[in-house]
Amino acid sequence: MTPLEGLVMGTRSGDLDPAIVNVIARKEGLSSSEVDTLLNTQSGLLGISGLTNDMRELQAELKEHDDRRVRLAIEVFCYRARKYIGAFLACMGGADAVVFTGGIGENSPDVRAGICAGLEWAGLRLDPTKNRETVGREGVISTDDSKLLAYTIPTDEELLIARDTVRVILGEPHPS
């Protein structure tokens, strides 16, 4: 129903225990509206790290200072993505591939590796060299013998938004 459901995001909490809303309100003396703002704008990578919502900055900070909160933010992000992949594989009875796209998916071999670590049970094994070398371009990043493949596929999100905007303005139906 809202953008909070799902993965940890830059400033959004992602899935959480519903009772936490009352706990936060009571402990911090916040109204429900203030808790909503906290969960939507001050949580996620930003809230966990206490630094930024930008994964590139978090990774640079981790390499330079090995900050424990930054490490935790990245680990939580990878854990949540891996959890969803596992759940979706179970719900769908498997899949042919996992596709990484968008800013983090296209450009962060370390995050892709963190997400895929532990998915060997599903037949997915990343090729460390392919993963490291495939940044900002399309490619297979899984090993040749993986049963579940992994790809990176760049996307132009701004172009897609612009096309959808033009369709809405012109009253055209969305292509199926």
Q: Which residues contact 52 (CB under 8 A, 6 or more apart)?
A: 45, 46, 58, 61
Mean pLDDT of 7-28: 93
> d(Cα 44, Cα 120) in Å, to the nearest integer?
27
Could you tell me what percent of the chain has a pLDDT over 90?
90
Query: Which position has the token pair 């930003």?
Result: 46
| pLDDT band per the 50, 70, 90 thresholds, residue 3 | confident
What's residue 173's pLDDT? 86
What pLDDT, in 10s, does the model give residues 84-143?
999 999 999 999 999 999 999 999 999 999 999 999 999 999 999 999 999 999 999 999
Contact 77, 55 (CB under 8 A): yes
The model's pTM is 0.89
Show the CA angle centred on residue 115, arms to residues 109 and 118, nearest 5°.
120
What's residue 176's pLDDT? 67
Statement: residue 72 has pLDDT above 80: yes
| Ordered structural domains, the chain, with CATH | 1-78 (3.30.420.40), 95-176 (3.30.420.40)
What's residue 174's pLDDT? 78
> d(Cα 117, Cα 107) in Å, to the nearest integer?
17
Statement: residue 6 has pLDDT above 90: no
Residues in the chain: 176
Contact 135, 100 (CB under 8 A): no
What's residue 2's pLDDT? 79
Going by C-alpha positions, the residue among 175, 173, 125 that lies closest to residue 148 is 125
Query: Which position has the token pair 């990245």?
Result: 74
| pLDDT band per the 50, 70, 90 thresholds, residue 5 | confident
What pLDDT, in 10s, does the model give residues 59-69?
999 999 999 99
Statement: residue 1 has pLDDT above 80: no
